[in-house]
Amino acid sequence: MRALSRFCPAKLCLALLACWLSLGSASAETRVALVIGNGAYASTAQLPNPSHDAEDVAASLKRSGFEVLQGIDLRQADMQDLTIRFARAASRADVAMFYYSGHAMQYNGVNYLMPVDAVLSDEADLKRFVRVDDIVNDLQQAKNLRILVLDSCRDNPLAETLKRSAGMTRAASIGRGLSKVEAPRGTIVSFSTQSGQTAADGSGRNSPYTSAFLKHIEEPQEIGEVFRDISSDVYDSSGKTQLPELSLSIIGKFYLNGPVSITVAPAAPPAAARPDPCAAAEAHWKAADGIGTLGAYEDHLARFPNCIFATLAKARVEGLKQKMALAPAGNGRAGGGKDFDGNWDVTLNCAATGKAQGFTRALSATVANGVFHADAQSQGAVNRLEIDGQIPADGKTTLSARGTTGASTYTLNNLPPGSPYAFTVDAQFERSRGSGKRNEARACNLVFVKR
């Protein structure tokens, strides 16, 4: 300190010292991760990639400052022991992450992770598995950020054994893939594919999801952007057949690499007499950002123009518009699809997915100068749907749909009526007919018939 005082006044030195100490405390953030790869199963199909997935993910997280607990091909007792150690470590951590690669399944809406020595002759054997709900609870002990990653939506042959055991004697529900997990506040939940779907194990060293995870997790981007890039990479590399499930409930920005980590805690609600116009902004933003389309962000801005996420929504809108402007002009040239001008009938058919019931919906559409617009609206204007886009001369296009939900029984996440949603449709129009397929979230087909 004496040497330093020769070159600066005392007040300036104290300020510099305080700044240095604050940077030191920021870098002392505690990060812990549990990484498990189970592939050498004794009673069902073995998986070649999970051991490699776990090794590579553990090495990557160590480079990002995590203390890593790692387990490969764990038996029931070892898996329980490691999850207990992780729970204790998470209670002392600022950031906690759980990463699992291997077999898993859902039963009556509950997700289970499978040790390599597990058998499944009846429902009682599920006690040998690890409940994902318990892992989520352990993660919640971390102070700032919690991350749950499950690369485990592979087809599980043991589920068929349990189905035969359950038989017709009870109302058991054994669905494909995993049941959706809503992210608690301060948490990111990422599945390798959509809930109720199965994912590919891959033919290389790593699964398609883990390959994308390793590609992006060490990038100096905000953590939400990192996981969106992971999802986008999997979707593109799979030929749009595998779309990861992503649920984020974080406020502020957080970086695993790059800028100093910043966590902004939600402010306590003000004790105001009048209703808070921004009370529903956070929930709406989670839905809009999860969808990630231009229509979803514009809808958020229209509803909450002066709330906390408005600036972020504007940035998303500008970024997507710039991408659209830079896209090849062939699919967007005005008037290219005038041959399709006229009135059309549209039928949207969505199959039952998870707990959501299937439905069929009719829309009326018009095409003018190649511009497509369809809409449908129920009584009371609650269940609304609009589909828009440009049809080029070859009839191949991507349409954008947005609207608000109707009855909760028909929605994937049991959303309340009037909740916003959006998706895109890859469509092919012929002279008087056309067909389309919804790209995001659930399987839906569209049929277009010119009147």
SS3 content of the chain, % helix, strand, coil (to 5): 35, 25, 40
Decide: residue 362, CB within 10 A, 0-12 exposed, 13-18 middle, 19+ buried. exposed
Cβ-Cβ contacts under 8 Å for 59 (sequence gap 6 or more): none
What does the pLDDT read at residue 122? 77
Full DSSP string of 192-208: SS-TT------SSSS-H
Cβ-Cβ contacts under 8 Å for 40 (sequence gap 6 or more): 46, 51, 73, 116
Residue with tokens 């004697």: 169
What does the pLDDT read at residue 141? 93
How many helices (H) and strands (E) would you count in the chain?
11, 17
* CATH 2.40.128, domain 331-450, yes or no: yes
Cβ-Cβ contacts under 8 Å for 298 (sequence gap 6 or more): 317
**What's the angle, vertex CA 442, arms to CA 437 and CA 443, rounded to 5?**
40
Residue 200 has pLDDT above 70, yes or no: no
Residue 265 has pLDDT above 60, yes or no: no
Q: How do residues 424-448 score in pLDDT, each as one tens digit?
A: 888 999 888 999 998 877 889 999 9
Q: How do residues 137-180 score in pLDDT, each as one tens digit?
A: 999 999 999 999 998 865 555 555 555 544 433 223 344 567 77
The β-bridge partners of 424 are: 400
Residue with tokens 């510099």: 16
Question: Judging by DSSP bridges, how do beta strands 95-101 and 145-151 pair with one another?
Answer: parallel
Q: How do residues 70-125 score in pLDDT, each as one tens digit?
A: 999 999 999 999 999 999 999 999 999 999 998 888 877 788 898 999 887 777 88
Question: Judging by DSSP bridges, how do beta strands 104-107 and 110-113 pair with one another?
Answer: antiparallel
User: In angstroms, rounded to a whole number, what is the distance separating the alpha carbons of residues 227 and 275?
Assistant: 34
User: In angstroms, rounded to a whole number, what is the distance separating the alpha carbons of residues 425 and 98?
Assistant: 34
Q: How do residues 298-355 score in pLDDT, each as one tens digit?
A: 877 888 888 878 888 887 888 777 766 665 544 444 445 678 889 999 999 898 887 8
Choose the weakest-confidence range: 144-153, 189-198, 207-216, 365-374.
Answer: 189-198
Residue 56 has pLDDT above 90, yes or no: yes
Amino acid identity of 238?
Answer: S
What does the pLDDT read at residue 378? 60
Q: Where are the domains of the chain?
A: 23-249, 281-327, 331-450
What does the pLDDT read at residue 110? 84
Distances (CA, A) of 300 to 290, 313, 392: 12, 7, 29
Q: How do residues 364-404 score in pLDDT, each as one tens digit?
A: 899 888 888 888 866 455 778 888 888 888 888 888 888 88
**What's the angle, vertex CA 359, arms to CA 355 and CA 364, rounded to 5?**
145
Bigger pLDDT: 332 vs 48: 48
User: In angstroms, rounded to a whole number, what is the distance separating the alpha carbons of residues 181 and 192?
Assistant: 13
User: In angstroms, rounded to a whole number, what is the distance separating the alpha carbons of residues 9 and 284?
Assistant: 52
Sheet holding 95-101, edge to edge: 67-72, 31-37, 95-101, 145-151, 187-191, 245-249
Nearest CA to 206 among 192, 220, 219, 190?
Answer: 192
Residue with tokens 């990479």: 233
User: In angstroms, rounded to a whole number, what is the distance separating the alpha carbons of residues 379 and 437?
Assistant: 27
| Radius of gyration over every alpha carbon of the chain, rounded to an integer in angstroms | 25
What does the pLDDT read at residue 26? 40
Residue 22 has pLDDT above 80, yes or no: no
Q: Angle, nearest 10°, between helix axes 132-139 and 76-90?
A: 20
On whether the CB atoms of residues 369 and 334 are closer than 8 A, the answer is: yes
Please state which CATH class domain 23-249 belongs to: alpha beta
User: In angstroms, rounded to a whole number, what is the distance separating the alpha carbons of residues 257 and 217?
Assistant: 9
What does the pLDDT read at residue 332? 40
**pLDDT-based confidence at residue 242 (cuts at 50, 70, 90):** confident
Nearest CA to 139 among 103, 106, 188?
Answer: 188
Choose the weakest-confidence range: 180-194, 212-226, 257-271, 301-315.
Answer: 257-271
Note the maximum CA span of the chain: 89
Q: How do residues 400-418 score in pLDDT, each as one tens digit?
A: 888 888 888 888 777 888 8
**pLDDT-based confidence at residue 198 (cuts at 50, 70, 90):** low
Percent of the chain with pLDDT over 70: 77
Q: What is the pTM of this model?
A: 0.53
Q: How do residues 5-21 score in pLDDT, each as one tens digit?
A: 333 444 444 444 444 43
On whether the CB atoms of residues 113 and 102 are closer than 8 A, the answer is: yes
φ and ψ at 239, to 5 degrees?
65, 35
